[in-house]
Structure 1
Amino acid sequence: MSDDHVYLSLTEEHPGGDDRWAFGTGFADPLHGVDTRVPDGVDAAALAEACLALGDDALVSAQRLAEWCTRAPELEEEVALANIGLDLLGQARLLYARTGQADGSGRGEDHYAYARGPAEFRNVTLAELPGGDFAFSMARLLALSCWRLALLDQLAACPDPVLAAIAAKGVKELTYHRDHAAGWVVRLGDGTTTSRRRMLRGVAGVAPHLEELLAAPHPLGVDTARVRAEVTTALDRVCEAAGITAPRAAPAGWRGREGRHTPHLAPLLEELQSVRRAHPDGVW
């Protein structure tokens, strides 16, 4: 990087004449060069379903985290949340690419991100709720990270080598996401009277959507009971350290995995997909 200003450096000419900015169409398939044949004995439809749902969870979560840019309580935290969002966006890209290969459509990541409406998304509803208070966002990040970590830890041993590799990479990232969120939950829960009150409210906002995570059926041999036990244990430990009561799962009224979402998903997707809708044939 020849210039100290990061934004100016993005416009520098790169070797080979590749002057594209930060991202956009024209980039190679994120799984380019990988053997993407579905192994014998693996249900391709179940594989596609799992990858799509996990990709939707990651994309929607990343979009919510992006809303904290310029709004986080401190600059260091803004950078941290942006990096967590980028981790999730990277996971979504890989999972969407695998979806298009497994379902036989050959569709790329842009289709799954930009060409579907709310009823076609399969993300859990906790991911789509508005960020609101910072304490709620940290409580949600903790719950989603613990849950996703428990899932990907098992999927790292799944019979599909592509998903297994994606999951193994995700485990490292999600361990950081979980620990980062846990630090904030403890800091706020064990802090001032105001921060404790807001953390309690944040945990209460997570609780109605927790059962949807823990009770959701998972294909590809994931042990749902083990996921529940690991997530519950992790939440209990963090909340005990914070001096607050951990959220308790209750029967869920929403079923994001079935396309039954809260009213909050549609406006989120409208913003996420606005440029693609305005310029459907545009390229970067």
Structure 2
Amino acid sequence: MDAAQKPLFEFLLRQGDNALVLGHRTSEWCGVAPVLEEDIALANMALDQIGQTQLWLGYAAEVEGAGRSADDLAFLRDVYDFRNLLMLEVPNGDFGRTQMRQFLYDAFQVPWLKQLQNSTDTRVAEIASKCLKEALYHLDRSSHTVIALGDGTAESNKRMDEALTFLWPYSGEVFVDDETDHAMAAAGVAPLPSEIKPLWLETVQTVLAQACLTLPEGDYAQKGGRTGFRHTEHLGHMLAVMQTLQRSYPGATW
């Protein structure tokens, strides 16, 4: 891979890994969601994320030029090679935490993908356009669910408040700009994540107000931070499940 392509490869891994990890976490609700409607909805959203993974990691494999495929990048990398946001890999917790995480991520993804549609990289723009259609639906659904639970019973409001308190420290990582981000911005491939922060915060504040929830005090603590990609044990456990078939039967096809 040409040195000039390394920032683009890194950028594409981030997009694909976010979709892959969130998709897998969401799929864990299949068969155990609180009601059938949510079970089906979460399974469909997980499928959307896995489809997006194929697009981003497929392009990343092409840019790398090492003969690897999207499947190779998904199933044959080790934990510290993943570039996803830490918020997406933590265990689901209860239904409220899962929905709050989905909302916080969706509120970023929609304006992010809208901006990527203007990318100087044609493939990035095309992928973003396809993903945006699904992200808009995800945001609409997660917003309404957060509002319904927050403005529901005393118990549901309490759980949503706990979910927000737990996830808030992870949100700062979303907007940390590093060398890869600056390289992509300079090339016109993507905006800086920090530029999306005001749009994200506006959506978050609007929805939380309707959900009778209050933002935690203080600014976003940067629990992770992209520099160093400090993963917890959670991703390792998740990959052990997600990658077991491919690693048990290398190269198997069906």
Q: Under a length normalisation based on structure 1, what TM-score does the superposition of the two structures give?
A: 0.82
| Equivalent position SS for 2:233 | coil
User: Would you say the 8 A contact 1:207–1:249 is kept in 2?
Assistant: no
2:206 paired residue number: 237
Deviation per CA, 1:257-277: give whole Å up to 9, x if none.
633111111000000000111
Distance 1:185 1:48 in 2: 34
State the TM-score, normalized to the length of structure 2: 0.91
- Structure 1 vs Structure 2: percent identity of aligned residues? 33
Q: Deviations over 1:83-111 (max 9, x none)?
A: 11111101100111100111222311111
Gaps of 5+ in 1: 1-37
1:240 and 1:250, CA in 2 relative to 1: closer, same or farther beyond 3 A?
same
Task: Please tell me whether the aligned partners of residues 61 and 67 of structure 2 are also in contact (alpha carbons under 8 angstroms).
Answer: yes
Q: 1:75: which partner in 2?
A: 36
Structure 1 contact 93–109 (Cα < 8 Å) conserved: yes
Q: Give the match's secondary structure for 1:258.
A: coil
Give the helix-richer structure, 1 or 2: 2
Aligned to 1:46: 7
Alignment deviations for residues 16-48 of structure 1 (CA, whole Å, 9 cap, x no partner):
xxxxxxxxxxxxxxxxxxxxxx9xxxx522221
Query: Residues 185-210 of structure 1: CA distance to partner in whole angstroms, max 9, x if unpaired?
Result: 10111010000000100111110100
- Counterpart contact for 1:122–1:257, Cα < 8 Å: no
Could you tell me which amino acid in structure 2 is paired with residue 142 of structure 1? F
1:254-273 alignment runs, 5 A limit? 254-255=224-225, 258-273=228-243
Instruction: Give 1:61 deviation, angstroms.
Output: 0.2
Whole-angstrom distance in 2 between the partners of 1:141 and 1:50: 21
Rg larger in structure: 1
Q: Are 2:122 and 1:161 equivalent residues in the alignment?
A: yes
* Alpha-carbon distance, 1:172 to partner: 1.1
When the two structures are aligned, how many residues end up with a matched partner? 243
What root-mean-square deviation, in Å, do the aligned CA atoms of Structure 1 and Structure 2 show?
A: 1.6
The alpha carbon displacement at 1:256 in A equals: 5.0
For 1:150 and 1:209, locate their aligned partners in 2 and report how far apart those are by CA, in whole Å.
Answer: 19
Q: Distance in 1 between matches of 2:195 and 2:136?
A: 17
Distance 1:102 1:197 in 2: 46
